[in-house]
Amino acid sequence: MSNRLLLDTIEVNIILNRLACQLCETHKDFSNSVLIGVQPRGAVLAKRLLSILANEHKLTEISNGFLDITFFRDDFRRTEKVLSASENLMDVSVEGKNIVLIDDVLYTGRSIRAALTAIDSYGRPSEIQLLTLIDRRFSRHLPIQPDYLGRQVDAIADEKVLVHWKEEHGEDAVYILNQSDE
Amino acid sequence: MSKLSVSHLLGIKYLTPSDIELIFETASHFKEVINRPIKKVPSLRDVTIANLFFENSTRTKLSFELAQKRLSADVINFSASNSSVKKGESLIDTVNNILSMKVDMVVMRHPNPGASMFLSKHVNASIVNAGDGAHEHPTQALLDCFSIQERLGDVSGKKVLIVGDVLHSRVALSNIFALKKLGAEVKVCGPLTLMPKHIETLGVTVETKLKKALAWADVANVLRVQFERMRKSYFPSNREYAMQYGISKEVLRDIDKEILIMHPGPINRGVEISSDVADSENAIILDQVENGVAVRMATLYLLASKL
Over the stretch B104-161, which tens digit does the pLDDT of each residue have? 999 999 999 999 999 999 888 999 999 999 999 999 999 999 999 999 999 999 999 9
Q: Which residue of B has its CA nearest to A77?
A: B305
Contact between residue B187 and residue B159 where contact means Cβ atoms under 8 Å apart: yes
Confidence bin at A180 (pLDDT 50/70/90)? low
Neighbours of B48 (CB within 10 A): 18
Q: Is residue A18 part of a domain?
A: yes
**Residues in A touching B25 (Cβ below 8 Å):** 84
Q: What gap in Å lies between CA A130 and CA A112, rounded to an integer?
A: 8
**Residues in A touching B298 (Cβ below 8 Å):** none
Per-residue pLDDT tens over the stretch A65-120: 999 998 898 887 777 676 778 888 888 889 999 999 999 999 999 999 999 999 98
| Total domains, chain A | 1
Sheet holding A127-136, edge to edge: A63-67, A33-38, A98-106, A127-136, A148-153
Q: Is residue A145 part of a domain?
A: yes
Pairing of strands B48-53, B105-110: parallel
CB–CB contacts below 8 A, A to B: 49
Interface membership of B307 toward A (CB under 8 Å): yes
Interface membership of B44 toward A (CB under 8 Å): yes
Burial of A165 (0-12, 13-18, 19+ CB in 10 A): middle
Per-residue pLDDT tens over the stretch A92-102: 889 999 999 99
Most B CBs within 10 Å, among A67, A68, A69, A82, to test the B interface: A82
Q: Is residue A178 part of a domain?
A: no
Cβ contact (<8 Å) for B307 and A77? yes
B-proximal residues of A, 99-158, CB under 8 Å: 117, 120-123
Geometric angle at alpha carbon B187, from B181 and B189, rounded to 5° = 140
Q: Which residue of B has its CA nearest to A71?
A: B43
Give percent helix, percent strand, percent coil of chain A, each to the nearest 5.
30, 30, 40
Q: What gap in Å lies between CA B80 and CA B5, rounded to an integer?
A: 31
DSSP structural state of residue B221: E
What integer pLDDT is reported at residue B233 of this predicted model? 86
**Residues in A touching B1 (Cβ below 8 Å):** none
Cβ contact (<8 Å) for B29 and A88? yes
**ipTM score for this prediction:** 0.75
Give the nearest partner residue to A84 out of B2, B41, B46, using CB atoms.
B2
Cβ contact (<8 Å) for B42 and A70? no
- Please, which residues have CB within 8 angstroms of residue B284's CB and are 6 or more apart in sequence? B147, B151, B260, B261, B262
Interface membership of B33 toward A (CB under 8 Å): yes
Q: Is residue A181 part of a domain?
A: no
Q: In CATH, what number is assigned to the domain containing residue A87?
A: 3.40.50.2020
Contact between residue B252 and residue B278 where contact means Cβ atoms under 8 Å apart: no
Cβ contact (<8 Å) for A72 and B46? no
Confidence bin at A1 (pLDDT 50/70/90)? low
Q: Taking Cα atoms as reference points, which of B199, B211, B246 lies closest to residue B225?
A: B246
Q: Is residue A162 part of a domain?
A: no
- Three-state secondary-structure class, residue A25: helix
Per-residue pLDDT tens over the stretch B176-235: 999 999 999 999 999 999 999 999 999 999 999 999 999 999 999 999 998 888 888 889
Give the nearest partner residue to A88 out of B32, B302, B304, using CB atoms.
B32
Confidence bin at B307 (pLDDT 50/70/90)? confident
Give the nearest partner residue to B37 out of A77, A117, A121, using CB atoms.
A121
Q: Taking Cα atoms as reference points, which of B87, B207, B126 lies closest to residue B159?
A: B207
Give the nearest partner residue to A72 out of B32, B42, B307, using CB atoms.
B42
Contact between residue B201 and residue B174 where contact means Cβ atoms under 8 Å apart: no
Contact between residue B22 and residue B2 where contact means Cβ atoms under 8 Å apart: yes
Quote the minimal CA–CA distance from A84 to chain B in Å. Answer: 7
Q: What gap in Å lies between CA B279 and CA B281, rounded to an integer?
A: 7
| pLDDT score of A8 more than 50 | yes
Quote the minimal CA–CA distance from B238 to chain A in Å. Answer: 48
Cβ contact (<8 Å) for A121 and B307? no
Q: Which residue of A has its CA nearest to B34?
A: A121
- Please, which residues have CB within 8 angstroms of residue B25's CB and are 6 or more apart in sequence? A84
The whole domain housing A75 covers 9-155
Per-residue pLDDT tens over the stretch A46-62: 999 999 999 999 999 99
pTM for the structure as a whole: 0.88
Q: Is residue A167 part of a domain?
A: no
Cβ contact (<8 Å) for B43 and A71? yes
Q: Which residue of A has its CA nearest to B4?
A: A82
Cβ contact (<8 Å) for B37 and A123? yes
Q: What gap in Å lies between CA B158 and CA B163, rounded to an integer?
A: 16
- Please, which residues have CB within 8 angstroms of residue B129's CB and are 6 or more apart in sequence? B8, B9, B10, B11, B108, B116, B117, B136, B137, B138
Contact between residue A112 and residue A130 where contact means Cβ atoms under 8 Å apart: yes
Interface membership of A88 toward B (CB under 8 Å): yes
Q: What gap in Å lies between CA A63 and CA A90, rounded to an integer?
A: 10
**Domains (ranges, CATH) in chain B?**
12-136+289-304 (3.40.50.1370), 138-286 (3.40.50.1370)
Q: Which residue of A has its CA nearest to B302?
A: A82
Q: Is residue A1 part of a domain?
A: no
Cβ contact (<8 Å) for B38 and A82? no
Quote the minimal CA–CA distance from B253 to chain A in Å. Answer: 40
Q: At what angle do helices B59-70 and B285-304 cross, to 10 degrees?
A: 50
What integer pLDDT is reported at residue B118 of this predicted model? 93
Q: Which residue of A has its CA nearest to B3?
A: A82
Count helices and strands in chain B by DSSP H and E runs:
11, 9
Give the nearest partner residue to A82 out of B2, B40, B46, using CB atoms.
B2
Amino acid at B230: M
- Three-state secondary-structure class, residue B264: coil
A-proximal residues of B, 68-87, CB under 8 Å: 71
Q: Is residue A134 part of a domain?
A: yes
